Amino acid sequence: MSTRARRAIVEVREGSCIGCGLCLPDCPAGALAVPDGTSRLADDRCCIGCGACVAACPEGAIRLVEREALPFDIGSVMERLIPRGEAAVIRYLETLRASGEDALHRRAIAYLDEHDTRVPACRGEDILTDEADGELDPIAGMEVAAPSRGRGSRDGHDLEAGAGSEAGGGR
C-alpha cells in the first residue's frame, strides 16, 4: 500500500456543490466524479493538483488544499481515462506536454504501450513527436507509426473502452 504524503490536491466543500458536473470536463486526469448528485474526488492518486476544476466550478465549491493524500499515480490516471475514450487520453497527454511534464508524458505513453493500447494522435500530429513522420520518437526513443486519417497507432492496437484491442498486427 502506498504511503500518504502532503501535497496539493482538490477538495470539494460539502454543501456547496450543486452537482452540475461542470468540473468534470475540465479535469484532464479524470479525477472527479459526481455520484449521488455531488462532485467528489474519485481517487487521490489521479489528482494532479492543477486547479482546472476549481476555475470551472460556478459555486466555488472546489478548492486546492495541501493535505495528506495518496501519491499521484500515472497508472491510476490511465485506468480512469482509457475507458472514457481516445479524446480523454489525448487531452491528458496534451495537458502534460503543455505544462512541461515531460517525465509524466513519457510514463503515460509507456503505460499505453505496456498495456497494448493504441497511442492516439493529436490534431493530425503524433502525440509522441512534434512531427507526424513515423520516425523515431525523440522523447521516448520509440518507433511510432504515422497517423492515418488524423489518428495515430502503435502496432495496430486500438484505444477502446476498457482495453487495447488488436485491430490488425501484433508485436
Q: Kindly give the interhelix angle for 102-114 and 86-98, rounded to the nearest 10 degrees.
A: 150
Distance in angstroms (rounded) separating the CA atoms of residues 33 and 44: 12
Locus of grid cell 486500438: 158
Q: What is the pLDDT of residue 67?
A: 94
Return mean pLDDT, the chain.
Answer: 75
Neighbour-count burial for 148-164, b at 16+ CB within 10 Å, e otherwise: eeebbbbbbbbbeeeeb
Threshold 0.85, pTM exceeds: no
Distance in angstroms (rounded) separating the CA atoms of residues 105 and 124: 18
Given the DSSP bridges, would you call strands 121-122 and 125-126 parallel, antiparallel or unpaired? antiparallel
Span 128-169, pLDDT tens digits: 544 334 433 333 333 333 333 333 333 333 444 333 333 333
Instruction: Please say if the pLDDT value at position 58 is more than 60.
Output: yes
Instruction: Please say if the pLDDT value at position 20 is more than 50.
Output: yes
Nearest alpha carbon to residue 44 among 96, 80, 16? 80
**Taking a C-beta distance cutoff of 8 angstroms, is the pair 92, 84 a contact?**
no
Instruction: Please say if the pLDDT value at position 118 is more than 50.
Output: yes
Q: What is the pLDDT of residue 122?
A: 53
Instruction: Please say if the pLDDT value at position 61 is more than 60.
Output: yes
Distance in angstroms (rounded) separating the CA atoms of residues 25 and 30: 8
Distance in angstroms (rounded) separating the CA atoms of residues 44 and 40: 10
Mean pLDDT calculated for residue range 106-129: 73
Nearest alpha carbon to residue 63 among 86, 85, 39? 39
Q: What is the pLDDT of residue 41?
A: 93
Widest pairwise Cα distance in the chain: 52
Instruction: Please say if the pLDDT value at position 74 is more than 90.
Output: yes
Residue 167: all three cell numbers together = 485491430
Instruction: Please say if the pLDDT value at position 73 is more than 50.
Output: yes
> Which residues neighbour 5 within 8 Å (Cβ) at sequence distance 6 or greater?
68, 69, 71
Domains of the chain (ranges plus CATH)? Answer: 5-69 (3.30.70.20), 74-166 (no CATH)
